[in-house]
Amino acid sequence: MAKDGSIKRLAKEWTLMRSLTASGLPAAIYALQNSLLQISYRNLDSLTFSMLNQTKIIFTALFTYIILRQRQSIQQIGALFLLIMAAVLLSIGEGSSKASSTDDPEQILFYGIVPVLVASVLSGLASALCQWASQVKKHSSYLMTVEMSIVGSLCLLASTSNSPDGEAIRRHGFFYGWTPLTLIPVVANAVGGILVGLVTSLAGGVRKGFVIVSALLVTAMLQFLFEGKPPSVYCLVALPLVISSISIYQKYPYKVKKKEA
């Protein structure tokens, strides 16, 4: 970007209103989504949480249709359901059997199931908005990543003003407990944010969902390579489902019917 002069061009074209519209809104939505997920974590076992969290892929397809009028063919809709089946199988295989610490069904519903479902809706909306900003408004994915990081950080800092985490930061400092190893997930998330922005810009939010679910397969394979843990039966069953869903989704895109003269 520095060599081709695009940084200077972006600096000249940058406006606060455009930044807030393209990046501020989805960043705030993602921040709210993360807060809801934290609530759900505490009230659901990991298996139930993982399965419900996969519904965000369907909501992404829904919002890309509403915002971008990006339709899905019948085959693509079937591919989405195949993907969800694979995600459920992977969640069963990789999820923990640890049950929720409470037996109150109302608490499980309103503080476990409802938050993760609302978070899935918000994830689909934010992904569609990012795709709209990248493809329709031609907003730079690199600039969007920086803007979303800043806005998201401000939202999270504001949310910690009266929270126990905020009190710990004020008492011990922001970097209390950090080690050199802490930089690994920080850098990985930063690079991942740029890559996610590129995927959303070039391929769309729905295909980003495919990448996320496919990453579960990669995780299982890496566990086998580094820990000697073989893939579970669920992983072996989910593998052809993921491959089939991706193949079907890409092979049968929605085609606009030609109007008869």
62 or 47, higher pLDDT: 62
Out of 145-149, 228-232, 240-244, 245-249, pick the least confident.
228-232
Return the exposure string of 118-153: e unless at least 16 CB atoms fall within 10 Å of the residue's CB, then b: bbbbbbbbbbbbbbbbbeeeebbbbbbbebbeebbe
pLDDT in tens, 42-61: 887 665 676 677 778 788 88
The whole model's pTM is what? 0.66
The answer, yes or no, to whether residue 89 has pLDDT greater than 70, is: yes
The answer, yes or no, to whether residue 261 has pLDDT greater than 70, is no
Mean pLDDT of 9-15: 65
Inform me whether the pLDDT recorded for 188 exceeds 50: yes
Question: What does the domain layout of the chain look like in residue ranges?
Answer: 16-158+182-251
Contact in structure between 83 and 245 (CB atoms under 8 Å): yes
pLDDT at 5 over 60: no
